[in-house]
Amino acid sequence: MSLELFNQLVIAWIILAVLLFPIQLKVTAPYGRHTRSSWGLLIDNRLGWVLMEIVSPLLFGGFFLLGSNPKTGPMWIFFALWMLHYLNRSIIFPLRTRTTGKRIPLAIVGSAIFFNVVNGFTNGYYLGSLGEPYPESWLSDPRFLVGLAIFLTGAFINLQSDQILLNLRKPGETGYKIPRGGLFRYLSCPNLFGEIVEWAGFAVMCWNLPALGFAVWTAANLIPRALSHHRWYREQFADYPPERKAVVPGIL
């Protein structure tokens, strides 16, 4: 595949995210607290999570490692950050969740797998074979340094928020509580905010079109999700903190 054709496909992929964003604002994805049987066959929540998330590191890692490009220091850092994130999302996090008995529509798992196939392929193929190898001097480029700082900040927020959520339930509990601590002081979904920040930083750090596509899709998927969670919290808890925003401190 030529670089020109590849870029055209990635641009189309980004445009699709923008076009679907208004639809996602109106249709709440039916998983987690929003699960509905009307979306068809349901499978175990933990199994579904592993199946849909493991695709990304497998494809990204395969196309990166088997690609013809020489692998430089900056590229190994991109690889390591991606794989560490998805080691947590696809294996560690699902095993730690207390979601016994909860189920997820197979349709949602399938749509997430499709996204991760495209995302893992475009980023792994670009870095592994199609794009120009990053020189070692990229490690001192302001885009790399600023992007890395943003990525690590987002990862910290995401992990800290996930830990708070995981600690809300005692063994055997399945109900929901108001999370407190960390950025939950300001947001209903700091875990989602952290992930948006994380991949925005990755896009700056890599400074390429596929990474930008990942950042755009992350925001397009998670902002509507956060708004749905925010509305749900306000409906379920009469004492829900009124000062909290959904996903962006002080703004949204």
What are the per-10-residue average pLDDT scores of the chain (252 residues)?
94 97 85 66 89 96 97 98 95 82 86 96 97 97 98 97 88 80 96 97 98 98 95 93 93 90
Cα distances (angstroms) measured from residue 247 to each of 67, 117, 183, 205: 37, 26, 10, 23
In a domain, 10, yes or no: no
Contacts of 180 (CB under 8 A, 6+ apart): 164
At 38 the pLDDT is 66
Size of the chain in residues = 252
Largest CA distance in the chain: 58
CA dist., res. 123 & res. 59, Å (int): 9
In a domain, 243, yes or no: no
Tokens of 150: 């943003």
At 160 the pLDDT is 96
In a domain, 7, yes or no: no
Helix ranges (H only) for the chain are: 3-26, 45-66, 73-87, 93-96, 106-125, 142-166, 190-206, 209-236
The number of distinct structural domains making up the chain is: 1
In a domain, 3, yes or no: no
DSSP symbols for 46-62: HHHHHHHHHHHHHHHHH
In a domain, 159, yes or no: yes
In a domain, 6, yes or no: no
CA dist., res. 67 & res. 73, Å (int): 16
Domain residues for 171?
A: 15-236
CA dist., res. 252 & res. 192, Å (int): 13
Q: Which of 37, 63, 35 is nearest to 49 (CA)?
A: 35
Tokens of 205: 């750090």
In a domain, 252, yes or no: no
In a domain, 76, yes or no: yes
CA dist., res. 206 & res. 204, Å (int): 6
At 35 the pLDDT is 61
At 188 the pLDDT is 96
What pTM was computed for the model?
0.93
CA dist., res. 154 & res. 214, Å (int): 15
CB 72 within 8 A of CB 185: no
